[in-house]
Structure 1
Amino acid sequence: MRLFWLASLSMFLILSQALMAHARGAPESFADLAERISPSVVNITTSTTVAARSGPQGIVPEGSPFEDLFRDFQDRNGQGDGGQPRRSSALGSGFVISEDGYIVTNNHVIDGADEISIEFFSGKVLPAKLVGTDPNTDIALLKVEGDDALPFVSFGNSDNARVGDWVMAMGNPLGQGFSVSAGIVSARNRALSGTYDDYIQTDAAINRGNSGGPLFNMDGDVIGVNTAILSPNGGSIGIGFSMASNVVTKVVDQLKQFGETRRGWLGVRIQDVTEDMVESLGLVSAKGALVSDVPEGPAKESGMQAGDVIVSFDGKDVDDTRQLVRIVGNTEVGKSVRVIVNRDGKSETLLVTLGRREEAERTFPASQTVPESEEPSTVDILGLTLSPLTSDLRAEMNLPDSAKGLAVTAVDETSEAFEKGLRAGDVITEAGQSQVLSVGDLEDRIAEARDAGRKSMLLLVSRGGDPRFVALSVEDTEQ
């Protein structure tokens, strides 16, 4: 009997250990996977012509008696440009998705580049041409021409990735060359910087230079494109974000076919339904997208009205505004869809023929830059001295003409912002997941966060073309 009991116990322990090992799914090594997929990962180097500066910038005031001294110091250290345009280089990562040379990376890696150079794992270097970009998802598609078929990787289904799954990131961090890091999926469906975002959060180390590189699952399929980090100091602290492959594949397919994106457009201004609106709108729960305005466009032609609550679009239930925007954007232009709205407590079905969002944005831009005369030259807020981007500031900071946001011209060294790594020369492009073009935009986002009872707010900060998220306290300390 004792022997039977011991045998049963041993069998139970062996079975338990086997089940635990299966549940963990921890590989003994990532070496075989890394060896197999490394040849498809590339380093990207870009070269850009930067306009010449007229003199010492940002250190001494114009006309200062120290201006000549500082100019001499710059020249001795190779920083002077003698009034001539100069070349600026940047590094990033990418990956090959077809044997004929299509390469995916981030838009911010190649934005404004005059020349793009691709270095392969083998050491081979080829020039690349830009096929198309999508700033909304920060994705760009490149193409190289070579004599031989290139090793490539395939996209996986990011919807199958679960929190806790092992993942592996590859790229060119801090210009160190090909590098591998591993971690797990920390969270899913993060929406941190834009309308169409679906980020996978991971603790796999991602640093500057990893931008545009792939995030692999254990089958060697790409389930994300490494894009940004949340960090107080600019380095990896285990909170990185990769754009989900199911977003990227749709963008890449359109860039390959058209050289640009073609998203569906409904033509409404919407906001989320809150709990205090439910009763007055005749709804059962706080779901749907409340139509706040219906300008000229497809929705107006269908009879949609301000005050309607969109509860279903093309057969899909609508939970909130973010979901509706993504569903509409993923629907082909020109398709006629059924939209169910709640109007005064009753359901109405409308037939809407979608337009194209990109054309609508060119015709009816969602945001206009506030004239410089309507903005103060600088303002102090959250420990930051901020100024709206002007043409002079863009030139001084070596930014492209398309750059938008608020320039950080100074940081209070006793502030939380300084502690978390913000510095003069940074550009704040978004606050609270919304674009900021003026000081007023930022003040509105701060007020909204405070009104909602939030203690902090995410800022999307660009430094040298690399974006990262920084959370700053917005608690009102005024008495």
Structure 2
Amino acid sequence: MKNFGISRQALVAAVFGAAAVGTLTLSPKVFSPHADAQPIAIEAPQGAPLSFADLIERVEPAVVSVNVVSEREVGKLADMEQFFEQFRGMPGFDEFLQNREKEEQDNPEPETQEARSLGSGFLISKDGYVVTNNHVVENAKEIEVTLKDGREMEAELVGTDPQTDLAVLRIKEKGVYPYVRFGNSHTMRKGDWVVALGNPFGLGGTATAGILSADGRDIGAGPYTDFLQIDASINRGNSGGPTFDLNGNVIGVNTAIFSPTGGSVGIGFAIPAELADEVTQSIIKDGRVSRGWLGVAIQDLTEDMAEAQGLKDDEGAIIADVTTGSPAEKGGLERGDIILSVNTQKVKDATTTTRLVGKLIANTSNKFEILRGGKKKTISVTVGERPDDLTARVVPASGSKAPAAEDNSTELGDLGVTFKPMDEETRDKLGLKSGEHGLVITDVSRKGVFEEAGLQVGMVILEANNAPATSVDAFQKAIADAKKSGRTKVLVAVRIGQITNYRTLDLTTKG
């Protein structure tokens, strides 16, 4: 189970004794001053079972423990850098490090060590397909599942999807196995009962109950999953196990916990059933998950960004960058376009846009409704297949080297910034297309408009309110146009290294 810390738990037992002193007795009337007083009593709320035993008895045979043998490299100095840091400066330590480095150079073959880990899983078909987490079976050499009746069965890895941390196994021995089915987490409401089963700390067959605490949680584990948050106790070893509703349907796959101690503090996260079902079916069919790919970098459209564009709401995703040679570029999408819907499905933010695109079938044409320059339009784009390495970019072809621009910096005191035109050398370093214009920030005043927006020396302004920053005059005109329209915010495209993102300048800032 992924977590944020490890600690020990202590069990404390308190023993209370009672002693009678003399013959003192207490009248019940002391605790009941009114003859008609009644103790507080309430009826159990509708839907609250007196016991989960029947449910657990039915679904437990389909829940398995997953035992994994893997191999990992050991002895690398780079892996121990943080540990070694505390010994820096000690006599003889540098010599020790040099000897270790020489040993590694003389023996380039990495040393490996066998590692064992435990997790959970559950059967989703009678022929032995098992769902678990990718991190449970990562780098596995051997996989074994243990059934409720104690049988230990060898399993093979069918496929994984690291993006959603899901994996599918198949029990090698043929047979008819008990299995459960996926439900729909969207039918669940905050406060509904849930039951989690799994193999925490190797204690197979453990059941815990709680409620759905929240949904739509983003825990920074990738762009494709909005997690369910549950307070049913889950711990290390529960990873890959199921969370059930009261009808015995799997509504989530337990994946992570938040804990400063390493044990359950009542904050667990599960992958929603409908996503898990979709991913596992794709793995079973093709051995992998193929996702649609546009080739754009996108951001949430914030309230400030919407205001700068004169929009009434902030639903949508703004394209911050378009990869050269990507499906987006070929389809006509541009930096600054605001995506409003994909195949008529409205998008709320960058996350929902990423998921909608990820569900598209590669090499199919799809309609993107966008807002460009304040006008709506629909563009058809044939999406590609998401590459394994998204950091691989097609480097724009550089034009012939132009002479470096003269140091003709311009200070805009009211905005607290000094600019100079971007030259060809800077353009190449930033991975921009030949001929693209921009203004390099050479100085930022304290507490000015640019500093308040988080902009720094070395960053490059490419656009202001969708107008290319071809010159300082063009930039000032965009500012003037915004003021003329009664707007106090200006949207700017900023190049930071080889990444473009959008920021808003607040013209009401006083330096």
TM-score > 0.5 by shorter chain: yes
The answer to whether the aligner puts 1:134 opposite 2:156 as a matched pair is no
- Indicate which of 249, 261, 266 corresponds to 1:221: 249
Take 1:85 and 1:52, find their aligned partners in 2: how far apart are those partners? 6
Map Cα deviations across residues 63-95 of structure 1 (whole Å, 9 max, x no partner): 9899xxxxxxxxxxxxxxxx9743211000000
* CA-based RMSD: 3.0
For the structure 1 residues 158 and 300, does the alpha-carbon distance in structure 2 shift closer, same or farther, using more than 3 Å as the test? same
Q: How many residues align?
A: 337
The answer to whether the 8 A contact 2:370-2:377 is kept is: yes
Give the counterpart letter for 1:140 in structure 2: A
- Indicate which of 384, 393, 412 corresponds to 1:355: 384
- Indicate which of 264, 268, 287 corresponds to 1:240: 268
User: What's the CA shift for 1:287?
Assistant: 1.5
User: What's the CA shift for 1:148?
Assistant: 2.2
Give the counterpart letter for 2:329 in structure 1: K
For the structure 1 residues 61 and 324, does the alpha-carbon distance in structure 2 shift closer, same or farther, using more than 3 Å as the test? same
Equivalent residue of 2:275, what SS?
helix
User: What's the CA shift for 1:319?
Assistant: 1.3
Take 2:384 and 2:212, find their aligned partners in 1: how far apart are those partners? 36
Report 1:62-101 matches (<5 A): 85-101=112-128
> Which residue of 2 is the match for residue 381 of structure 1?
none
User: What's the CA shift for 1:250?
Assistant: 1.1
- Indicate which of 28, 39, 48 corresponds to 2:50: 28
> Which residue of 2 is the match for residue 312 of structure 1?
341
Take 1:341 and 1:157, find their aligned partners in 2: how far apart are those partners? 31
Report 1:257-406 matches (<5 A): 257-295=285-323, 296-358=325-387, 361=390, 363-364=392-393
- Indicate which of 251, 254, 265 corresponds to 2:282: 254
> Which residue of 2 is the match for residue 467 of structure 1?
none
Gap regions ≥5 residues in structure 2:
1-40, 94-109, 396-495, 503-511
User: What's the CA shift for 1:177?
Assistant: 1.9
Take 2:378 and 2:357, find their aligned partners in 1: how far apart are those partners? 16
For the structure 1 residues 330 and 52, does the alpha-carbon distance in structure 2 shift closer, same or farther, using more than 3 Å as the test? closer
Equivalent residue of 2:390, what SS?
helix
The answer to whether the 8 A contact 1:100-1:145 is kept is: no
The answer to whether the 8 A contact 1:198-1:247 is kept is: no
The answer to whether the 8 A contact 1:51-1:84 is kept is: yes
Take 1:360 and 1:254, find their aligned partners in 2: how far apart are those partners? 20
Map Cα deviations across residues 273-310 of structure 1 (whole Å, 9 max, x no partner): 12222243242211111111122212211211111111
Equivalent residue of 2:295, what SS?
coil
Take 2:377 and 2:266, find their aligned partners in 1: how far apart are those partners? 47
Map Cα deviations across residues 150-194 of structure 1 (whole Å, 9 max, x no partner): 111100011111111100000000112210000000001111121
For the structure 1 residues 315 and 236, does the alpha-carbon distance in structure 2 shift closer, same or farther, using more than 3 Å as the test? same
User: What's the CA shift for 1:335?
Assistant: 2.2
Give the counterpart letter for 1:333 in structure 2: A
- Indicate which of 228, 253, 261 corresponds to 1:200: 228
Take 1:230 and 1:194, find their aligned partners in 2: how far apart are those partners? 16
Equivalent residue of 1:109, what SS?
helix
- Taking structure 2 as the reference length, the TM-score comes to 0.61
Equivalent residue of 1:323, what SS?
helix
Take 1:24 and 1:317, find their aligned partners in 2: how far apart are those partners? 36
Take 2:286 and 2:392, find their aligned partners in 1: how far apart are those partners? 20
> Which residue of 1 is the match for residue 8 of structure 2?
none
Equivalent residue of 1:249, what SS?
helix
Equivalent residue of 1:39, what SS?
helix
Equivalent residue of 1:361, what SS?
coil
Map Cα deviations across residues 342-373 of structure 1 (whole Å, 9 max, x no partner): 1111111101111111357385499xxxxxxx
Give the counterpart letter for 1:246 in structure 2: E
Report 1:5-84 matches (<5 A): 21=44, 24-51=46-73, 53=75, 58=83
User: What's the CA shift for 1:145?
Assistant: 2.1
Gap regions ≥5 residues in structure 1:
1-15, 67-82, 367-440, 449-479
For the structure 1 residues 299 and 282, does the alpha-carbon distance in structure 2 shift closer, same or farther, using more than 3 Å as the test? farther
The answer to whether the 8 A contact 1:262-1:358 is kept is: no
Take 1:65 and 1:264, find their aligned partners in 2: how far apart are those partners? 55
| Greater Cα offset, 167-176 or 352-361 | 352-361
> Which residue of 2 is the match for residue 371 of structure 1?
none
> Which residue of 1 is the match for residue 468 of structure 2?
none
The answer to whether the 8 A contact 1:282-1:344 is kept is: no
For the structure 1 residues 53 and 244, does the alpha-carbon distance in structure 2 shift closer, same or farther, using more than 3 Å as the test? same
Take 1:229 and 1:244, find their aligned partners in 2: how far apart are those partners? 15
Of structures 1 and 2, the larger Rg is shown by 2
> Which residue of 1 is the match for residue 140 of structure 2?
113
Take 1:237 and 1:151, find their aligned partners in 2: how far apart are those partners? 32
Equivalent residue of 1:358, what SS?
coil
Equivalent residue of 2:266, what SS?
coil
Equivalent residue of 1:251, what SS?
helix
Equivalent residue of 2:140, what SS?
coil
- Indicate which of 198, 207, 232 corresponds to 1:180: 207
For the structure 1 residues 328 and 85, does the alpha-carbon distance in structure 2 shift closer, same or farther, using more than 3 Å as the test? closer
> Which residue of 1 is the match for residue 14 of structure 2?
none
Take 1:147 and 1:257, find their aligned partners in 2: how far apart are those partners? 19
The answer to whether the aligner puts 1:153 opposite 2:175 as a matched pair is no
Equivalent residue of 1:211, what SS?
coil
Map Cα deviations across residues 365-421 of structure 1 (whole Å, 9 max, x no partner): 99xxxxxxxxxxxxxxxxxxxxxxxxxxxxxxxxxxxxxxxxxxxxxxxxxxxxxxx
User: What's the CA shift for 1:49?
Assistant: 2.6
Give the counterpart letter for 2:387 in structure 1: E
> Which residue of 1 is the match for residue 10 of structure 2?
none
Take 1:93 and 1:47, find their aligned partners in 2: how far apart are those partners? 14
Equivalent residue of 1:24, what SS?
coil
The answer to whether the 8 A contact 1:254-1:260 is kept is: yes
Give the counterpart letter for 1:203 in structure 2: D
